[in-house]
Amino acid sequence: MKFKLTPILSVLWLALALASLPALRAQQVTPPATPAPATTEQAATAAKTSEADKPAPATEAPAAAATPAAEETKPPVAAADDAKKVEEKSAEPEKPATEVKTSRKIRSIGASSSRRSNNERVSFGHGSTLAAGESADTVVSILGSSTSAGDVSDVVVSVIGNTSITGGTVGDAAVAVLGNVYVNGHVKGEIVAVLGNIELGPDAIVDGEIVCIGGEMKRDTKAVAHGNVQNIAIGGRHFNFDKLQAWFTECALYGRLLAFGPNLHWAWVIAVSFLVFYLLLALMAPTGVTKCVETLEDRPGYSLLSAVLTLLLTPVAFILLALTLAIGIGFALIPLFSLGLFFAGLFGKTVMLAWLGRRLTKLFGDGPLAHPAVAVLIGGIIVLLLYTVPVVGFVVYKLLGILGLGVVLYTLLLQYKASRPVPLPRLAPVAAGAGMAVSGMTAGEMAAPPVLLPPVISAATLPRAGFWIRIAASFLDMAMVGIAYGMLNGIIWHGLPGIPPFWYAVYCVIMWATKGTTIGGIVCGLKVVRLDDRPIDWSIAIVRGLSAFLSAAVAGLGFIWVAFDDEKQSWHDKIAGTTIVRVPKGTALL
């Protein structure tokens, strides 16, 4: 059985008050003083007064008929005592009435305080209302509006809703976050509206400050404001946030982007505008949209994997770019990287709309309806309708963005691999006298000794370096850089900027760009080469160095990848289009 605590406390408080009532009366009533001996004249006068005040015997009950006879036999002193008691009783009735009223007031205050200590009106997802004549400690609504016409001892708050004080008093403050505040009562504290309007009615009395952030301030001429009034503008303007509030309550609360209702037409305008932009992209780059859609259709597994990796590695890439702020290039790289992801995401949305619409357009063959723009239009209409479904709307929006970005990046990677030139094998020179005649060559030319060419260091002709030999070379380089950093930081240059991993990356980039290897690579006979056999330049060296942070960020998985990859490439090798080969012994690497 479920018991309510408030009624029980009220009953206990009432019982305690009733039990203490006799004690209160005993304390408040002054004990009668010992009467002085009465004279004969006073006693006779009191006796006559007592007999005159008594009712007629005919109207009394039979049990009271013997009272006069008994009183007549009393001695004068006893009669005087009775007269004194009668006088005290005639003056005493006012005191019990006051005492009873006081005790009732105490009981009322006790019951009210017990009720108010538990009377906190808090709601989530709907509004809270306090009617006139009622009282509460607080009135709070989250994703709803708070309305009070009674007495609130603390605050009235609405989060993504309106706060209305239509009467009564508020002891502390009236607050609305992303909502409006209307006051037509007495607020003893402050009024605050964040991204909303404030309106004071004719009966409004505000003792504290009034702060309106971003919205508009309206005040009746009869309203009284004792504190300061601050109307803070956003971007130099005051806005009306009723439409944004309607979107939060009708769309965001239900997990969708669009809905049908008042004050929501602006959201449809924005959605249709984006659809028009996607149509323009499909008209300007139909080939790119088609290739990305074909990638998703032909390789759905790899496309999904690319989307997941993009989602996981994008924050890591931003962290790595933030590390480049120490050398000053991060100020340019971070905005460019963000802008590139933004446009790639927009193009990815176009691709996903085209892929969705193509489920229908491909049924009509290769006619005019096969154009990517038509598929984008059909897919966009379907998606706009899905945006109005609760929960499904947000899920569809996020999936389209994540999957679209992954498909675009994976398609770019495939196009880059397809555009790389295939290196041709190098033919060895033919020695003279080998029984083969070459047309157009003289006997002296054929008899001349062959020219010894230096060994060609190429990814196509030399073996790839394995995992452990690369780890050994990297360990030698890190030890050398660590020793040099310690010497410079502690002896020559105290407080050397940067951290050892940063200086190690700088060292590797400089060595790769100038010599194609590092000191550890020279000791182990390793060299960094490009897959297209072109020389390592500064751009490739920087890309490989920054990508190495990505390989290290995911628990070093990018470096370990060499042990399992058929091409013996790490993640930063795949990004930069490089690899590491083992050169023959005796080959000069400097």
> Could you write out the DSSP letters of every residue in 200-251?
E-TT-EE-S-EEEEEEEEEE-TT-EE-S-EEEE-BTTB----HHHHHHHHHT
The one-character DSSP state at 36 is: P
Domain ranges of the chain: 119-248, 265-419, 467-582
DSSP 14-29: HHHHHHHHHHHHHHHS
Q: What angle do CA 115, 121, 125 make, to 5 degrees?
A: 160
**Are the CB atoms for 224 and 204 separated by under 8 Å?**
yes
- Spatial distance between the Cα atoms of 460 and 212, rounded to a whole number of angstroms: 70
pLDDT computed for residue 269 by the predictor: 92
Residue 485 is encoded by which pair of tokens? 């950093």
Please enumerate, as own/partner, the contacts of 152-158 that have beta carbons within 8 Å and a separation of 24 or more. Answer: 153/116, 155/189
User: How many alpha carbons lie under 13 Å from residue 404 in its C-beta half-sphere?
Assistant: 25
Non-local (6+) Cβ contacts of 405 within 8 A are 307, 310, 341, 344, 345, 348
pLDDT computed for residue 268 by the predictor: 93
Residues in the chain: 590
Positions of the chain with pLDDT under 70: 1-118, 235-236, 238, 324-332, 420-460, 488-498, 586-590
The one-character DSSP state at 368 is: G
**Are the CB atoms for 400 and 386 separated by under 8 Å?**
no
- Residue 371: CB atoms within 10 Å: 17
Nearest residue to 397 (alpha-carbon basis) of 447, 349, 347? 349
To which H or E segment does residue 8 belong?
helix 5-28
Non-local (6+) Cβ contacts of 278 within 8 A are 346, 349, 350, 353, 376, 380
Backbone φ and ψ for 218, nearest 5 degrees, come out as: -125, 135
* Three-class SS of 40-69: HHHHHHHHHHHHHHCCCHHHCCHHHCCHHH
Query: What are residue 121's DSSP bridge partners?
Result: 139
Coil vs helix vs strand at 155: strand
Nearest residue to 344 (alpha-carbon basis) of 297, 292, 280? 292
pLDDT computed for residue 204 by the predictor: 92
Non-local (6+) Cβ contacts of 471 within 8 A are 559
DSSP 282-298: HHH-HHHHHHHHHHHHH
DSSP 540-588: HHHHHHHHHHHHHHTTTHHHHGGGT-TT---HHHHHHTEEEEEPPTT--
pLDDT in tens, 381-440: 999 999 999 999 999 999 999 999 999 999 988 888 777 665 555 554 544 444 444 445
Residue 368 is encoded by which pair of tokens? 């005019």
Could you give the angle at which helices 286-298 and 265-284 cross, rounded to 10 degrees?
100
pLDDT computed for residue 586 by the predictor: 60
Residue 100 is encoded by which pair of tokens? 């009873």
Nearest residue to 138 (alpha-carbon basis) of 124, 127, 151? 151
Could you give the angle at which helices 330-361 and 300-323 cross, rounded to 10 degrees?
160
- Spatial distance between the Cα atoms of 87 and 81, rounded to a whole number of angstroms: 10
**Are the CB atoms for 65 and 57 separated by under 8 Å?**
yes
Q: Is the pTM of this model over 0.85?
A: no
168's torsion region: left (phi>0), alpha (psi -120 to 50) or beta? left
The alpha carbon of 497 is separated from its chain's Cα centroid by a whole number of angstroms, namely 35
pLDDT computed for residue 363 by the predictor: 82
DSSP 125-149: SS-EEE-TT-EESEEEEESS-EEE-
- Residue 42: CB atoms within 10 Å: 16
Nearest residue to 163 (alpha-carbon basis) of 174, 152, 171? 174
Residue 501 burial (C-beta neighbours within 10 Å; 0-12, 13-18, 19+): middle
Nearest residue to 404 (alpha-carbon basis) of 340, 359, 350? 350
Nearest residue to 519 (alpha-carbon basis) of 484, 552, 553? 484
- Spatial distance between the Cα atoms of 429 and 432, rounded to a whole number of angstroms: 10
Nearest residue to 14 (alpha-carbon basis) of 25, 3, 26, 6? 6
Residue 503 is encoded by which pair of tokens? 């200086």
- Spatial distance between the Cα atoms of 194 and 550, rounded to a whole number of angstroms: 41
